[in-house]
Amino acid sequence: MDTTTGRAPATYDRIGTDYSRIRRPDPRLHALIGLALEGARTVVNVGAGAGSYEPEGVEVTAVDPSQIMLDQHPGAVKVRAGAEQLPFPDHSFDAAMAVMTVHHWPDPLGGLAEMRRVARRQVVFTWDPTHRTELWLLGEYLPEIRDLEHARFTPLHTVVDALDAHTVLPFPIPHDFTDGFQIAYWRRPELYLDATIRQASSTFAQLPPSVVEPAIARLREDLASGAWHRRHADLLERESVDYGYRLIVAG
């Protein structure tokens, strides 16, 4: 079934090839999401991608607008569709989950309403653009990422209100976070030099090389000279940092 709309398919059709290798589910985030989904027997994963963070031992229906992403999904039930038009009857599932995907939806409020329509419980992991602790990469090298992220992420309070959520849980990002989205390498700056790693992040994938490459060249120079380590010596001793990532539970 194909009911795709919007920008997400194009983005993930470009970056999806190495996605499952670099975007490996982090066990700590997996455990947190698993607790939020505890007791559900049927789950729809909206914007499922390669199936990260789905609970074990339940019946999962994977929904994604990108065929390349669905091809990497190991599940048996996969539906190509956008979040705003979920092709299921009301209350078809015990729970609906969405992990780092709402910002890709052309109509986030419409997609969240669809999650409420088709499932009794909703679990959403997202980032709050109003959170003030910022990744050093934005301020020092790529302010263009800040502009892009603030333009596409729905404020946390808007998501909470749309879902009528009862729980919002912070998730500080561990220094050895295994899921290679943009924030993952806050204490491992050398990994941002790897073009393959950058390409698995939708943010980097949407910026032109004329913007990214000079910034990465400056980072490479600062790492070689030790300037980055001098500026961020405090980060090298931290186990995790709260960068504004939140798990929202409703229903």
According to the model, what pLDDT value does residue 21 have? Answer: 59
According to the model, what pLDDT value does residue 18 have? Answer: 53
List the one residue out of 11, 14, 211, 38 whose CA is nearest residue 100: 11
Taking the C-alpha atoms of residue 195 and residue 25, their distance in angstroms, rounded to an integer, is 20
What are the backbone angles phi and psi of residue 247, rounded to the nearest 5°?
A: -105, 125
Helices (H), 88-131: 108-118
According to the model, what pLDDT value does residue 20 have? Answer: 54
Q: How far is CA 101 from the centre of its chain?
A: 5
| DSSP letter (8 states) at residue 189 | G
Q: Which residues are within 8 A (CB) of 143 and not within 5 positions of it... i.e. 6 or more apart?
A: none
Taking the C-alpha atoms of residue 128 and residue 126, their distance in angstroms, rounded to an integer, is 7
According to the model, what pLDDT value does residue 199 have? Answer: 85
CATH classification at residue 66 = 3.40.50.150
Taking the C-alpha atoms of residue 93 and residue 89, their distance in angstroms, rounded to an integer, is 9
pLDDT (tens place) for every residue of the chain, 251 residues total: 333 444 444 444 444 445 555 678 999 999 999 999 999 999 999 999 889 999 999 999 999 999 988 998 999 999 999 999 999 999 999 999 999 999 999 999 999 999 999 999 999 999 999 999 999 999 999 999 999 999 999 999 999 999 999 999 999 999 999 998 889 999 999 999 999 889 888 888 889 999 999 999 999 999 999 999 999 999 999 999 999 999 999 99
Report the predicted TM-score, pTM, of the whole model to 2 decimal places.
0.89
Domain that holds residue 124: 2-250
According to the model, what pLDDT value does residue 6 have? Answer: 41
Q: Residue 116: how many CA atoms within 13 Å on its side-chain side? A: 16
Q: Which residues are within 8 A (CB) of 98 and not within 5 positions of it... i.e. 6 or more apart?
A: 45, 46, 47, 83, 111, 115, 122, 123, 124, 125, 126
| DSSP letter (8 states) at residue 201 | S
According to the model, what pLDDT value does residue 144 have? Answer: 96
Angle at 166 between CA 131 and CA 37, to 5 degrees: 95
According to the model, what pLDDT value does residue 97 have? Answer: 98
Q: Can you count the helices (H) and strands (E) in the chain?
A: 12, 10
Q: How far is CA 14 from the centre of its chain?
A: 16
According to the model, what pLDDT value does residue 73 have? Answer: 93
- Total domains in the fold of the chain: 1
Taking the C-alpha atoms of residue 185 and residue 231, their distance in angstroms, rounded to an integer, is 16
Taking the C-alpha atoms of residue 80 and residue 4, their distance in angstroms, rounded to an integer, is 7
Cα separation of the two ends of the chain: 28
Other beta carbons within 10 angstroms of residue 231's beta carbon come to 12
Taking the C-alpha atoms of residue 126 and residue 22, their distance in angstroms, rounded to an integer, is 19
